[in-house]
Structure 1
Amino acid sequence: MRLLLIYITLGFLVIGGCQNEKKPAEPSTAALKDDFTKSYLTSSKEVEKGYYRFKSKTGGYTMLLPVQAVISKDFGNERDEDFYEAIIYGAEIDQADVDTQIIYENKPLTAHIEENLDLLSSSSGYDGPYSESESKEIILYKGEETDKTDDYLTYIYVGYIKAKKTNQAVHFIYGATCKKEETACQNKEENHKDSAMKIMNSFTFSE
């Protein structure tokens, strides 16, 4: 009888111990819930509020990626060894549908700035001028405009990010679309501009 009580007691201890074990936390952001997107992240921790660190599968560059972003696995996703990569991500940010395309190249033709800006304009539909800024590592050519239809507004931010020391460069297109009737979405225009500019300025290229 005493032996039976010992077994019963041990059983309750084992069950109680299992119940007290903490379950692994469920992914809390869209980027972490998607395994394909997660495979591009250097860490599951945000490097700054609202952003993870993305690393290209070419190894050629890193950038900030919004925590809401989900990278398309099939549509628009291409890679040619270490010389070319194209990705598209979608997200819902500040009540807008955000679509972003990044095309990376590591070829001598990236040095032809005007030709690449013309290509960026034609591929994005952007029809405005570019302003230029630079940091120690990159030169950034950027533009912005608002595209209007009967029912929607799309805030468009484009950039050509060129490494100073190498042939590496990125074509960047960010579009945030709101319904015209959703004024709360439209009131977030400045947030989208800040996010697009933050991402463009976050690019770092390997040497």
Structure 2
Amino acid sequence: MNDNEKNITISNKTEDVKPKDQDQKDLPKVPAFQDEKTREYMVSTIEEESGYYLLESKTKGFRMLFPEDGEYSDSETSKKNESLFFDSVNKKTNIVMNASVKFYQNESFINDPETMLDIVSGINEYKGHFEKFEAKDKDIYFASKHENFDNEENPSYIFLGYIKSKKQDDLGMEYSFMFSCSANAKTCKPDPKANEEQVKRIINSVTFGDV
């Protein structure tokens, strides 16, 4: 075996080992891997897209793109549902993202858009319209709003909705992403268009497993 073959073999063996089982010093130097709780969800150290890696839920019910600067903040898991909360800070723009996704399985109400949108609207205090986007394997319902809270110059932007699997009944996810200026930021210029593009990239990447 020559040196190139040896290097390929070593690389393949490394990729067979989950990030949570690898030595931290060998992992990418980004929050998604350097944070102990976050890397438990990471599938591989190989980027899926620039700045994004692949996340898999603990129940293996779904996978989605996860930003390299994202960090786990909390989670809730039951036999039917799994919630994941995570945050990220863009150090260049001083924008903080607070995100939550809640996965449902074996819940009949996930098939009813009216019921699910009422749930999502109630949680996020939203009274507007949702757009519907159809993909091959899922339907995506999407809306946005902004809140001034205590800062009228730099409002927070919230993107919310839910995703319904087309391949399997009683299977789907609700989501909410909020973007706001970091509390310690001296300069911050919100960019809701860029935030919307990021959210759509993440939710479009969602795939549901055979649960």
Which residue is 1:54 aligned to? 55
SS in structure 2 opposite 1:185?
Answer: coil
Which residue is 1:148 aligned to? 148
Contact 1:155 1:175 in 2 (8 A): yes
Q: How many residue pairs end up in the alignment?
A: 180
RMSD across aligned C-alpha pairs, in angstroms? 2.1
Counterpart mapping for 1:1-207 below 5 A: 24-25=25-26, 27-72=28-73, 75=74, 77-81=75-79, 83-93=80-90, 94-106=93-105, 107-151=107-151, 152-166=154-168, 167-178=170-181, 185-207=188-210
Inter-partner Cα distance in structure 1 for 2:199 and 2:146: 14
TM-score (norm 2): 0.79
Moved over 3 A (4+): 24-27, 182-185
Q: Which amino acid aligns with 1:141?
A: Y
Inter-partner Cα distance in structure 2 for 1:126 and 1:30: 32
In percent, how many aligned pairs have the same letter? 26
User: Which structure 2 residue ranges, 5 or more long, are not aligned?
Assistant: 1-24
Report deviation, 1:158.
0.6
Inter-partner Cα distance in structure 1 for 2:67 and 2:126: 23
User: Which structure 1 residue ranges, 5 or more long, are not aligned?
Assistant: 1-23
Q: After superposition, give the CA deviation of every residue in 1:128-159 in whole Å (9 maximum; x if it has no partner).
A: 21000111100000001111134241111012
Report deviation, 1:97.
1.4
SS in structure 1 opposite 2:38?
Answer: helix
TM-score (norm 1): 0.80
Does the C-alpha gap of structure 1 residues 187 and 90 become closer, same or farther in structure 2, counting only changes over 3 Å?
A: closer
Inter-partner Cα distance in structure 1 for 2:56 and 2:115: 27
Q: After superposition, give the CA deviation of every residue in 1:145-184 in whole Å (9 maximum; x if it has no partner).
A: 111134241111012100012121100000001279x796
Inter-partner Cα distance in structure 2 for 1:179 and 1:71: 18
Contact 2:180 2:190 in 1 (8 A): no
> Max radius of gyration: which structure?
1
